[in-house]
Structure formats: structure tokens, C-alpha cells
Structure 1
């Protein structure tokens, strides 16, 4: 019998491979994997042309019609790129307002400490996003703040933060916006005509559905020019990387050639699906089908529907005495699905990603696997502890 994903045009993972229900790395298409079967010379003209094509395709996703922005790929993980952005675009005498409501905002604040640069923090905990009025008040109270860092999608909880609202306030107050769109770019709109960010970062292995190995900065050309001499790091100097690419078409240091080839294939598939709108629509449907099914089993989401992202959803662990997350994880894996542990400090939770090469038919199978796993554990209800619900109500009030 044909796999339901295959019947809908989504091939299943290779034989024996589970679906990765994570915020990346994620399940990729066969053609993306196959693109890595050829070796490329990092200095060769063909690879330079690939890099230029990739940069053009990424810029096309921003809506930049005035050629005010440019794209700078950087080797390394997403956190490398966040550090590169902060170290390159924030002057040594600048100050950053970090907006945190989970692990990645807090990691950005930790990065600022390592950089030894001034920063302040709005920490909303796990349940709520930072809002425009709070940001405005903080900027009014501290004229020294030059930049605001917002996390587009905080994947430790699954919150989709109101970046347009934040951007409007930052612009009105005459400050500069930096965006960590690591897990949202490519599926959630981030049009420069609506959100005039100074710079933003994302990664190859997220919503574009490539494989890990590099990230990229998209920034105003004026900001790239002004970034000269700011960086604390040779390797993470965005201006130096940009200047080298503009002059030679090459990466300064050994590029992840196979990863770039895979990413180009992923970008072509992204375009064929309908770009940001098409990719976002599939992920949203994945989320809606999965959340509805999990709620029917008794699971409850950490967040209200208003803040649920189409990227990843956090669920409370059931209160049932026989529920053990590690056992649940292994049972789900045995059925072909790798879920993600929780990253909250207050309550026990787990996460289910909605992104990657899968559709709503796969998500229905995820729900069925969860039901079977609960049955095998002897868990007859997935309802969370009353204390978790009370904590959510208290913190969300």
C-alpha cells in the first residue's frame, strides 16, 4: 500500500529514517539530499555562480524592490550567525534591548555578555510575547539604547512574536531593529517594505528545508558599510565576509560546498511551492491538523491559539502517573517520528515541529502514533497537571 505522503506528492524519508518533528534539522526531500552527491571546488567559477544565485534568490524573498539590502552567507550554525549579527552591527559603544520570551532571547543576552557590550533585557518568561508598548516604554526610559533584538519565532515555547508591531515602535523611536528569524524566515512574512529591519539572520536547515552547515545575514547595504571595524571576531565579521564576496564572489574561508548545493535545490522547491505564502500555508495546515488531533487525545498546548506559531508547538506532559517522557519519546521514534524535548523551566513539556518535508497527512499519522504510544504506556488520558494549567493562567494574566 502506498504511503499517504507519497500519494500526496511528499515522498517519505529514506527506508528506516524517521520524520524529524523538530525546528531543524528537519526532514528534507530526496532531491535536496541528492544535490550533495557531487563535489565542488570552493574557488571554482561554477561554485561562485552558485553562491551568487543563492544570494539573489534569498533577497527575492524579502520584497526588496529598491536594492537596499544584501545577503551575506556565513559558515556555522544559527547561533554563529546571531553572534555575527550582534558583533557586527552593534557598535562597540552601542546598546541593545534584547526581547526574550524563551531560551533563544536569553541566549542572545548571554552573547552580549560574551561580547562585553551594553545591553538590557525584557524577559517575558515562557508564555507571552513582548509587546510594542513595553518596547516603547523601555526605549523612552533609556536613550542609550541604539538597537532592539527581536526573536521572530521563539521555538523553546513555539511563540510567534509580533515583530511587525515591535518594528513599528522601534522605527517611531528612531532606533534600529535586528531580527533573529532563524526558525521563521521562508514561511512567515518578513517583507522589508513592511518591517524595515537593519539586519536579520536565518539558517539553511529551517523553513527553506535545506541541511545544516551555514546561515545567512540579510542587511541594509548602509548597515553593512557601517559595520566595518565593529566585529570582535575574524570569522564572524559580517562586513569582511560581505566585502570579500562583493570583490571576489568567494567565501573568505572554506565554504560548505555540498550544503550550498543542497540549499539551492531547496530554494527552487520553495519557489515552486509558492514561496513564503505557499510554504507558510502548508506549515499552518500541519499545525492545525496536529494540534486538533492532539487535543482530542487530551493534550493541552502551552500557548493560546493566538500565539501558536506554524513552526513548532509545545504541549504539557500528561499528569498520568504512567506517563514518562523518555518512554513516550522512544515509542514515537519506533513508529517513525522523532519529537523534541521541552525547554521550559516551570513545567514538564515536549514539542512537536510542523516544518520539513511533510504535510497534513503525515501529521495525522503523528497523532495516531501518539495515541498508540499512550495506549502502550497504559495512559488513558493526556490531560496535564492542574498545577501546570494554574501556572499558565497566573503567568499569562
Structure 2
């Protein structure tokens, strides 16, 4: 089917994923695939190669693993497979997604320590260094790169430098940043990086992926605390059987993700996409401030992925009514997720452009009711 013949969406998804996708990505899902077919498995292998190529300048020794489910499934596959029974995990958190990693560790009965920086402060390396000095039993360090609870971008370079100085395995949840913010795994000394199809690469939900140092992944055989989320076994099967997944794969999602990778390349790669997202965010923030909305984060902490705004100081304002008015105008936004303040969030990623942000601000100005 010609992608141009597909109907337009009734609204733009201004969320951190799922997000608005191109007609080309949608059209890619109109064909059925067999999971045993060589053509399909060759597609999987090409996706894996392309993901590794996006991981930085020096890609030798890195590999990619695809894992069914939402992004959290991939996070749990890493935490549950990579940390050995006698290991100990340090979790740096400043929002809901760092807290979720800590929860995963507790459910899996993995020993650990949590350094909580609150919801509106960046993660810092100094408390981690103090913890590693006082607790040599810690073997692994994990941090969220872009904490979409607020839109905070955390300084993973500084955290990784400390983690590796003390010989720890360094894990980065780059769920909402990979593909939209330039990341060089080798330069940042990242051992395991986790992301998902329905974020900055602009695919649809259905699987996540892990980029890993192959020698670190090799150490994980037999460690997994789950059958279906065994990261090592998933990787070994894909390696041995040329892209075959252990269990039924989301074939249509895989094909759509391949198309999304091609479109990322056509746009000019991560550098050009990052420029578009940053311009989206700047356009949104300027416009919102001009009509009286205050951003939650200072500019130096703000990611290009999602922006949080305080509710207006008005008894008449309710998020539900605000949401519904904007939806009727063709925009879907996100509720807030912090406990310290009443906020809402606007995603800056997906098939979204600065002109869309201008239209959104105009729609918000028409629908202000305070």
C-alpha cells in the first residue's frame, strides 16, 4: 500500500512514547512475516548491526540483543541477568524510572543500595564515589540517562567515570534518549545500554533492545533469574540461529522498526534528529513561557525529550479538562508524574516538528481557562 493513502491520525501524540510515527513506519506493518523465514531473520540481523553502529565511533566488541515486551521488560532482563547472585547493585535515581529499577532489584531479591537525589535535582557522581569507597561489595552501577518523570538529562559521563574508576559494571537506561541524543558507549565506558523501539528511533511499541560489551555479556551465562527474560540466552540464540528469537517475535513491530531506522538514516542520523528535537523543545518552551506557563526544570537540566510545566495558578484549571480541550484541537499531552508539584508534560519527540509546537502553543492559548 502506498503510505500516502493511509489516513491521517486524529491527533499528534506529544508523549515520550508511544509517539507519532511516519506513514512509512505505519505502512511497513501491512505485510505479514514468518518468524522462521530467512528474509525475516536477515532483517533482524540488519537491525542489530544498525543499532551497534549507532552506539558510537568505536563499535568493535559491542553487540545488540532484541527483547520482546515494553522497555521495562528489557530493563528487567538486564538487571536480572547481569547482576550475579553474589553481586550488589547501586541505583542512582531522581524519578519514577530510576525507582522502578530499584523495585525490579527488590522483587528479584538482588542486594543493592539506592542513592535518591529527589525529583528535581540531577544525579551526581560524588555521592556514588562515597558509596563505592564505603561499600566495596557493590559490583554494578545503574542510572537513567533521561528521566522522563521530569525531562531531566542526567550526567552519565561523570557517573560512568566514577563507576569504572572503581571497577564496576556500568549500566545505563537510555530508554528515552538513545537515537535522539548522541551517545558514545565506548567513550562513556557503558557496559550495557537499554532502550526501546517506540522512543527516539520512532518505531512502534513491542520490543526493547540492549547494546552490550560482548565480553561482559559472555560472563552472564546461567545467571538469569527468569526464563523469558534471560538476556544471555536471547543473545546466544540470535547469534547461533542468525537472528532467530527464542520465542515468538513481534514481526510487524520489527519490520516497522527497520523502516524507522532507515528513516533515521535519511534524516541525517542521530545528530540531525537531536537538532530537530532540541529545536522542538526550545520552540515549545519559549512559546509556553510567553503565554504564562513556567517550566519545571532549569534550562541547563532540560533534555530535548520531554518538557514538564507547572499547572497555572488558578482554581479553575483542571488537567482533565485541559487535556480534553487539546485533544479536540489535535494534540495529546501527558499528565505529570512528580509528587512535589502539580505538573503536566509535553513530549518533544516522534514525527514532530517546530511548526507543530507553534500550533500547539496557539491551541493552548485558545484554551486557557484560568
Q: TM-score scaled to structure 2, two decimals?
A: 0.97
State the shift of 1:193 in Å.
2.7
How far apart are residue 137 of structure 1 and its match? 1.2
Q: Structure 1 residue 132 and structure 2 residue 138: aligned?
A: no
- The yes-or-no answer on 1:284 pairing with 2:278 is yes
- Residue of structure 2 aligned with 1:365, choices 322, 335, 359: 359
Whole-Å separation in 2 of the counterparts to 1:227 and 1:147: 13
Deviations 1:264-303 (A, max 9, x none): 0000110111111111110000000000000111111111
Give the superposition deviation at 1:121: 0.4
Structure 2 residue 350 is the aligned partner of structure 1 residue 321? no
* Aligned equivalent of 2:287: 293
- Pick the aligned partner of 1:17 from 10, 13, 25: 10
Tell me, in whole angstroms, the C-alpha distance in 1 between the residues paired with 2:357 and 2:276.
11
Q: Which of residues 94, 117, 122 in structure 1 aligns to 2:115?
A: 122
Give 1:67 shift. 1.9
Offset from partner CA, 1:235-256 (integer Å, 9 cap, x none): 0001000111111120000000
Correspondence 1:1-397 to 2 at 5 A: 14-63=7-56, 65-249=58-242, 250-374=244-368, 377=369, 379=370
CA–CA separation in structure 2 for the residues paired with 1:180 and 1:91:
19
Measure, in 1, the Cα distance between the counterparts of 2:329 and 2:160: 43
Deviation at 1:149, TM superposition (A): 0.4
TM-superposed deviation, 1:373:
1.1
Q: Distance in 1 between matches of 2:341 and 2:57?
A: 42
Q: Within 1, Cα distance between the matches of 2:57 and 2:214?
A: 12
Contact persistence 2:147–2:154 (CA under 8 A): yes
Aligned residue pairs total 365
| Contact 2:31/2:252 (8 A) holds in 1 | yes
Distance 1:325 1:185 in 2: 30
SS of 1:194's partner is helix
Contact 2:52–2:59 under 8 Å retained in 1: no
Shift of 1:65: 3.1
CA–CA distance in structure 2, aligned partners of residues 16 and 241 of structure 1: 35
User: What is the DSSP-based 3-state SS (H/G/I as helix, E as strand, rest coil) of the residue aligned with 1:129?
Assistant: coil
Q: Which structure 1 residue ranges, 4+ long, deviate > 6 Å from structure 2?
A: none
